[in-house]
Homo-oligomer: A and B are copies of this chain.
Amino acid sequence: MKKRLLIIGGVAAGPKAAAKARRCDPEMEIVIYQEEDEISYAGCGLPYYISGVIGEREDLISRTPGKFALEGIKILKNRRIEKIDIPSRAVLGRKIGSGEAFTDRFDKLVIATGAYPIRPKLEGIDLTNIFYLRSILDADAIFEKIQSKDIRNVTIAGGGYIGLEMAESLIHQGKNVTIVELAPQILTLFDEDFAGILRQYLEKMGVRVFTSEGIQALRGTEGKVTHVQTVSKGIEADVVLMSLGVRPQVELAKQAGLKIGETGAIWVNERMETSAEGIYAAGDCTETIHLITGKRTWIPLGSTANKQGRVVGVNVCGGNDIFPGVMGTTVFKVFDFNIAKTGLSMREAGKEGFHPIQAIVRGYDRAHYYPGEKESVLKVIVDRETGRILGGQAIGEGPSDKFIDILAMALHAKMGCRELANVDLAYAPPFSPVLSPIIVAANVLTNKLEGKVEGIQASEVREKLQNQKETFQVLDVREEDEVKEKKIPNTTWIPYGELKKRVHELDKTTEMAIHCESGLRSYEACLKLKHEGFKNVKNIDGGMLCWCYDLEVSPPQASPSSGRGQNGGGQN
């Protein structure tokens, strides 16, 4: 009898496992069970289908059942598997619609049941016009609904990246969009400073953003939602998109007695095998290892699902492939901003017991003299004790994805920042500054590790400006034209070029945080003041690039300008 491989779940990891298994074993019987009427579709593309960027729904379908059939892979749609009977090596299920029961035997089984959206227990949650976005059928429903001109106000519950992608989609569709987030910031996987940059950008693009706003209830009339009620306000909403995150779909595995990990997802070993021999799991329903912390983690992503599906496809045929783990690398686009991250944030690194320090630099995509320049703000994080790179973040119109991919590779290599400072990256004027922003950041970090200049985060500066006025001062070393545009309140202003002759104006005894636009001139200023005998000077990480708090817009005292400093020098 031929070996029989059953796969539960037909979106990403399941079909990938099937295709790989077929290439490894031309004889094996392969069957994919799928609950929905669609299989093998691009879940990550759904926001772009809703926005109209992707014109044809069928473009989202990677492979039709007919294509699978050509390879001898059988697709059984509209069938819900209800039980895995491990001792008898069989699954039990029911056809959707007719309710007809069936059983099927397996030699090997792959669980690829994915994840489901969080549905909070809220008053009004069962009103109509409340949507979730997980499957292509959800996308169909949202797409159809928002075509109506009657739908003007859409509220998105949750400030994660899917909510943000949807905000863009809905603005493109001409809707009024409001994001409501319970946490004090959107995008909680990123640090406060970068989330602040994104929030300012979203607001500029016409999205209303409320943070620290828990939703208390959904209100409606005639069964339709009309308002989202938070602690402080009622927000008009013709449609509500619940985007509060997802949870791993583990019920089948749990009932079958398979081990569920500490993350709540299905436990697997590095071969992606569950606690039962011959039963594998892959994709959004499984946990894996975080390669920075070494701990078990659950980070559902389409790219991970595909890699895991391949590993499973090899192993169900008797191979011995491993999936080592992930580092939380992620990227998404909102309007023209590219936002990406790998590894740990400052906050996450602190929680994990590291002693993180950061460099924030301008991340240009080409030489300064080559026209058409785009820029992302780039952050690189390192552990003060070991010098090891822990993570990075990038945001802006520049090549955030490229920077983060380079950093992800540095994390895989367990590089320190001194090593990163001399990597041989591709340089030509249309592609990069002569020193890659990655290298500039590595140099800044090396300087910090060597104790040349200490950094201070914008959030800490803000807090000290409010609460330690007597013992804390902020020095702004930008030029007059920059200061006129915007200025942090209650700061001293001396342009970098005048610092030497005006140094007597400054108090050597108090703690001083210095900033410029991005942190380069202020770094030089720190060095100069330390040389002049200042003991407690710090460079504000990222300067004005990361200052997302109060601003003062007033003409400063007249002061002869010595010309705006080019970034020819710098921290590196």
A1 in contact (CB, < 8 A): no
Asked whether A332 is an interface residue with its Cβ less than 8 Å from the other chain, the reply is yes
Residue among A301, A404, A409 with most chain B CB within 10 A? A409
Residues of B within 8 A of A323 (CB): 422
Choose, from A243-251, A365-373, A547-555, the stretch at the interface. A365-373
Find the B residue at minimum CB distance from A62. Answer: B568
Contact between A435 and B569, CB atoms less than 8 A apart: no
**Stretch from A52-60, A356-364, A478-486 forming part of the interface with B:** A52-60
Determine whether the beta carbon of A408 is less than 8 Å from that of B423.
Answer: yes
Q: How far is the CB of A144 from chain B (nearest CB, A)?
A: 20
CA distance A58 to B524 in the complex (A): 25
Question: Judging by beta carbons under 8 Å apart, are B23 and A527 in contact?
Answer: yes
Question: Measured between C-beta atoms, what is the minimum distance from A133 to chain B in Å?
Answer: 14
In this complex, the member of A45, A434, A568 whose beta carbon has the largest number of chain B beta carbons within 10 angstroms is A434
Q: Determine the distance from Cα of A471 to Cα of B517 in the docked complex, in whole angstroms.
A: 69
A40 and B427 alpha carbons, distance in the complex (Å): 18
* Minimum CB–CB distance for A436 against chain B, Å: 8
- Cβ of A60 and Cβ of B369 under 8 Å apart? yes
A429-B42, A524-B23 as given contacts; A54 in contact with B333, CB under 8 Å = no
B331 near A424: Cβ-Cβ < 8 Å: no
The reply to whether B419 and A412 form a contact with Cβ atoms under 8 Å apart is yes
A424 touching B291 in the complex, CB below 8 Å, given contacts A23-B524, A307-B439, A432-B401? yes
Q: A307-B439, A402-B402, A405-B405 are in contact. Are A427 and B67 (CB under 8 A)?
A: no
Q: Which residues of B contact A340 (CB under 8 A)?
A: 426
Complex Cα gap A34–B28 (Å): 73
Q: Which residues of B contact A311 (CB under 8 A)?
A: 422
Contact check, B427 vs A54: say whether CB atoms are below 8 A apart: no
CB distance from A427 to the nearest CB of B (A): 4
Contact of A342 among B367, B426, B429, B439 (CB under 8 A): B426
From B399, B430, B572, contact of A333 by CB (8 A):
B430
| Residues of chain A in range 420-471 having any CB-CB distance to chain B below 8 Å | 421-432, 434-436, 439, 443
Do residues A301 and B405 form an inter-chain contact, with CB atoms below 8 A? no
How many subunits of this chain does the assembly comprise? 2
Best-buried of A12, A44, A531 by chain B (most CB within 10 Å): A44
Interface size class of A (residues with CB under 8 A): 35 or more
Q: How far is the CB of A250 from chain B (nearest CB, A)?
A: 23
In this assembly, does A212 line the interface, its C-beta being within 8 Å of a C-beta of chain B? no
* Chain A positions 275-313 with a Cβ under 8 Å from a chain B Cβ: 291, 301-304, 306-307, 310-311
A425, B369: Cβ atoms closer than 8 Å: no
CB distance from A395 to the nearest CB of B (A): 13
Chain B residues with Cβ under 8 A from A330's Cβ? 426-428
A314: min CB distance to chain B, Å: 10
**Closest approach, in angstroms, between the C-beta of A60 and any C-beta of chain B?**
6
CA–CA, A43 and B8, complex, Å: 59
The yes or no answer to A406 lying at the interface (CB within 8 A) is yes
A317-352 CB contacts (< 8 Å) to partner B: 323-333, 338, 340, 342
State whether the Cβ of A201 lies closer than 8 Å to any Cβ in chain B. Answer: no
Tell yes or no: A413 within 8 A of B by CB: yes
Q: Is the CB of B406 within 8 A of A406?
A: yes
Question: Which B residues lie within 8 Å of A419 (CB)?
Answer: 324, 412
Chain B proximity of A339: nearest CB distance (Å): 10
* Closest B residue, CB atoms, query A524: B23
Residues of A with Cβ closer than 8 Å to B? Answer: 12, 19, 23, 26, 40, 42, 44-45, 48, 53-55, 59-60, 62-63, 67, 70-71, 291, 301-304, 306-307, 310-311, 323-333, 338, 340, 342, 367-371, 399, 401-402, 404-406, 408-413, 415, 419, 421-432, 434-436, 439, 443, 497, 524, 527-528, 531, 566, 568-569, 572
Additional A-B contact list (14), CB under 8 Å, known A19-B568, A303-B434, A401-B432? A42-B429, A42-B434, A44-B429, A54-B369, A54-B371, A59-B369, A67-B568, A325-B424, A329-B426, A331-B428, A333-B430, A406-B406, A409-B412, A412-B419
7 contacts between A and B (CB under 8 A): A44-B429, A48-B429, A54-B371, A62-B568, A329-B424, A402-B405, A413-B413
